[in-house]
Chains A and B, each alone.
Chain A
Amino acid sequence: MRQIAKSSLRWLRFDWAYIFLLFMGGVFFVESLKLWATTKRMEPLGAGGWPLIMSAIWVAGVLGLMAFETFKRQPLPSYKIDIHDVGTIRCLWVVSLILLYIFIVRMAGFVITTIVFEFALMVRFGGTSKRDLILSAITAVIVTLVVYYCYTLAFKIPLPGQL
Chain B
Amino acid sequence: MFETFVTVFGSLDAWVYMLIGTAWGLIIGALPGVGSAFAMVIALPFTYGMSMHNSLVLIMSIYTSAIYGGSISACLLGIPGTGGNVVTCFDGYPMVQKGQAGLALGASAIASEIGNIVGCTILILVGPKFVDFALKFGPHEMFSVGLWAFVMSIAISPGNVAKNTIAGVVGVILATIGIDPKYGFPRLTFGSEYLLLGVNLIPAILGIFGVAIVLQSIFEEKSLVTIVKQKSFKLSGFAGLLSAWIWVVILVTSLIGFIIGIVPGAGSLVATLIAYGFFKKVSKHGHEYGKGSYEGIMIAETANNATHPGDILTTMVLGVPGEMAMVVLLGAFILHGVSAGPLLLVKHPEYLQNVFLSIMISGFATFVIAWTTMKGWVKAIETPKMYIWPVVILLCIIGAYSINNSMNDVLVMLLTAVLAFFGEKYGFSKIPLMMGLVLSPIMEDSMRNALLIDAPQAFFTKPISVALVAITIATAIALFWLLKPRKDTSET
Contact = CB atoms under 8 A, between A and B. Distances in A.
Interface of A: 15, 17, 21, 28, 31-32, 35, 38-39, 42-45, 47-51, 54-55, 57-58, 61-62, 64-65, 68, 76-79, 81, 86-88, 90-91, 94-95, 98-99, 101-102, 105-106, 114, 117-118, 121-122, 125-126, 136, 139-140, 143, 147, 151, 154-160, 163
A163 B401 CA distance: 12
A95 B389 CA distance: 13
Given A42-B183, A76-B160, A155-B49, A58 B219 contact: no
B452 A76 contact: no
Interface string B168-181: 01101100100010
B163 interface: yes
Contacts of B176: 50-51, 54
Given A43-B451, A157-B49, 17 more contacts: A21-B166, A28-B173, A42-B183, A50-B447, A54-B176, A55-B173, A57-B165, A58-B170, A79-B427, A90-B219, A94-B214, A94-B393, A102-B414, A125-B218, A136-B387, A156-B49, A157-B45
B302 to A, nearest CB: 35
B124 interface: no
B477 interface: no
Interface residues of B, number: 60
B174 to A, nearest CB: 10
A87 B187 contact: no
A61 B427 CA distance: 14
B48 interface: yes
Contacts of B16: none
B190 interface: yes
Interface in B193-226: 211, 214-215, 218-221
Contacts of B410: 98, 102, 160
B188 interface: yes
B53 interface: no
A76 B428 CA distance: 12
B385 interface: yes
B138 interface: no
Contacts of B211: 98
Interface in B419-433: 421-422, 425-427
A99 B219 contact: no
Contacts of A48: 187
A143 B173 contact: no
